[in-house]
Structure 1
Amino acid sequence: MKKYFQQYKPFLVFLASFFGCYILLTLLYQYFLNGFESDKLDTITKVVGQNTQSVISFFTESVQMIYVANEPFVRVYFQNKGIVQIVEGCNGISVIILFISFIIAFSGSLKNTLLFIFGGSLLIYILNVLRIAILIVLLHHFPEKMHLLHGVLFPAIIYGSVFMLWVIWVNKFSKYAK
């Protein structure tokens, strides 16, 4: 048994650090969310809504985000038509937690790890805001494509981007990079 533990030690250390970090960050995020009543919008989702509105407003003035006091989501109107609701699950934090957990599990030098976590998290946040903005416009024009756009295409883009960041990290900056 000891022989197998030694043989698979790098893999087991990776699993322990990945899941340990993932669970810790998820618990911290849940603690943050618990600070809001169940019928209130959390501040991160609110900021994502505001940033999405800014992106769309750069191209057109026909977007409006409605924040109702006792609703845990942002209502989005594009060209005076209700398009979507931005909920807590849309804010990208769970994707960022997954990203950070992987980077820590394959950590490199402290400086590189912290810079890559910060830069990658910022990139994921920006991509997520752009994803929501583009999704709003596309759903206005193609509402029948909701499942394809929201359920397939855009998750593939955001998770594909995270995967590419992981590949870059492992090959260029982690302690396993050659």
Structure 2
Amino acid sequence: MKDFLPVLKILLRFVIVYIVLVLLYQFYLNEYENDVVDPFTRWVAQQVAFLQSIFGFPTVLVDSLKLHSILFQTEGRFTTRMVEGCNVISVVILFSAFVFAFYKGAKTFLYVLAGLVILHILNVLRIVMLNIIFIKYPQYERVGHDYIFPAIVYGGVVVLWLIWIQFFALKKTDKS
């Protein structure tokens, strides 16, 4: 049993952190269940609209309480809609739980914070690119939405996990 103790500790830390973060996020979402979207999702949509405008695709955000989403209106037509699931928080929760499973003191918190920023930026850029594809290359909407663009965020998570494991979690210290 002693051989499995380190693995069980890692697994237990992952499960506990994951459950705590999911519950906290759900409590947060419950506060906004009667709104169009939660404030963080709105903030992401505003950043997407701002970047699209910079890239030459002026975008207006239109609230849809019926759909519980924010619609992106670009070049006079609706391209996509921003829902809570597009704000990357659920992916960040998974990322954070994994990193905390291999806890290494204060650098764990710094790495999670840096990872949050990186994943947020990747997500905003992903949504911008997806909207541009919907405008310029509508024949690739489904492939872009269902396969290519989720791979950007999940690929980012995997790369960040690999970096954490390779350079921080399993790195030999001078005392080892």
TM over 0.5: yes
Is the Cα contact below 8 Å between 1:131 and 1:154 reproduced in 2? yes
Query: Aligned letter for 1:151?
Result: D
The residue aligned with 1:134 is 129
1:150: how far off?
0.9
2:99 counterpart of 1:108 = no
The residue aligned with 2:153 is 158
Most deviating of 38-47 and 77-86: 38-47
The residue aligned with 1:83 is 79
The residue aligned with 2:171 is 177
Looking at structure 2, the residues matched to 97 and 48 of structure 1 have their Cα atoms a distance apart, in angstroms, of 17
Looking at structure 1, the residues matched to 66 and 133 of structure 2 have their Cα atoms a distance apart, in angstroms, of 28
Looking at structure 1, the residues matched to 158 and 133 of structure 2 have their Cα atoms a distance apart, in angstroms, of 25
1:56 corresponds to which of 52, 57, 75:
52
The residue aligned with 1:149 is 144
Looking at structure 2, the residues matched to 151 and 116 of structure 1 have their Cα atoms a distance apart, in angstroms, of 29
1:31: how far off?
0.2
Looking at structure 2, the residues matched to 73 and 61 of structure 1 have their Cα atoms a distance apart, in angstroms, of 20
Is the Cα contact below 8 Å between 1:120 and 1:165 reproduced in 2? yes
Looking at structure 1, the residues matched to 19 and 155 of structure 2 have their Cα atoms a distance apart, in angstroms, of 22
Is the Cα contact below 8 Å between 1:41 and 1:71 reproduced in 2? no
The residue aligned with 1:24 is 20
Give the total of aligned pairs.
172
In structure 2, the residue corresponding to 1:7 is in which secondary structure? coil
The residue aligned with 2:36 is 40
TM-score norm. by structure 2 comes to 0.92
1:177: how far off?
1.5
Q: Which runs of 5+ in 1 are unaligned?
A: none
The residue aligned with 2:9 is 13
CA RMSD of aligned residues (A): 1.4
Percent identity over the alignment is 35
Query: Aligned letter for 1:9?
Result: L
